[in-house]
Amino acid sequence: MRTLPIREICLISGLISASFVSAQEEAPSSPWSGSAELGFIDTSGNTDTQSTNGAFDLKHDGQDWDQYLKLEALTSKEDDVTSKEKYYGEVGFDRNFGERSYLAITGTHERDRFSGFEYESVIAVGYGYRVIQQDNMNLSLEAAPGYRRDKLKETQKINEDSIARLDAKFDWLISEGVSFIEEFTAEIGDENSTYRSETGLKSTIIGALATKITYKIKYVEEVPDENENIDRELGITLVYSF
C-alpha cells in the first residue's frame, strides 16, 4: 500500500482546514476548545518500520467549573512485529474558587503492552493555583493527595498505594503561530513513584492546522524484571485545533 509523503499530507490537510478558517473567524467564541493530532512514519529497506501516534484533547471553560479530556495512542511495528503499543487517558475537573485558585480533580489510566503492567491508574483531589495568567504565557501548579492502583502483567498481582501528585503546566506563545509547551507530573508513593515530562513545540502552518514536535519521558522507580525504568518518546504530528 502506497503511503503519502509528508509534503502531500500537509498540503491536503491545509486545503481542508482552510475551508473552515473563515467560518471560525466569524463564529462567536465558544467555551469549548480542543485539538486532534496524528502522526505516521513508514520506513522500508533493511528494516520495515511503521509507527502511528495520535492524540485528542477537549476542554470546556466554565464560570465555576473547567473540564478537560486527553486521549493518546501509540503503536509501532518492526518487520510486522509489534514493538510498542500504548494507550493513555486523562480526565480533569477544576472547581474555580477565584481567578487563580481552584480545586483540582484528576484521573488517569494507562495501558502499555510492553511496560510489564497490565494497567496503571491514578485518581487525585487537591489544590491548584494559576501562577501566571497572561495573553502569551500561562503557568499553573497543582498539589494533591491521591490513590494509585496497578496490575502486574506476569503475576496478575494488584498493587495499591497512597500517593502525592504534583503537576506543573506551562505554555508560552513565543511569537505569532509558534508556542512552547511543558508539563511535568510526579506521583510519589511509598511503594512506587512515577515521573512524567512532556516538552512540545507547536508551529502553525495555516489557519487551524499546525505541526507539533513532542518529546516525552516517563520514569518509574519500581518496574517488573526485564523492563526499563525510563521510557522515551519523540513524536512529530499534524495538529488540527478547533
**Which residue type sits at 97?**
F
Q: What pLDDT is stored for residue 28 in this prediction? A: 57
Look at the block and give the residue holding cell 491548584.
128
Q: What is the pLDDT of residues 204-225, one digit of tens each?
A: 999 999 999 999 999 999 999 8
Measured on CA atoms in the order 111, 4, 35, 171, is the torsion positive or negative? Answer: positive
The Cα 45–Cα 168 span in angstroms is 42
The separation between the first and the last C-alpha atoms of the chain, rounded to the nearest angstrom, is 31
Q: What is the mean pLDDT of the chain?
A: 89
CATH class name, domain 6-241 = mainly beta
Q: What is the pLDDT of residues 171-215, one digit of tens each?
A: 999 999 999 999 999 999 999 999 999 999 999 999 999 999 999
For the chain, state the CA radius of gyration.
19
Q: Phi/psi class of residue 157: alpha, beta or left (left: φ > 0; alpha: ψ in -120 to 50)?
A: beta
Q: What is the pLDDT of residues 55-114, one digit of tens each?
A: 999 999 998 999 999 999 999 998 889 989 999 999 999 999 999 999 999 999 999 999
Q: Cα torsion for 72, 157, 220, 39, to the nearest 10°?
A: -20
3-class secondary-structure state, position 19: helix
The Cα 123–Cα 105 span in angstroms is 8
Does the pTM surpass 0.85? The reply is no
The Cα 107–Cα 172 span in angstroms is 25
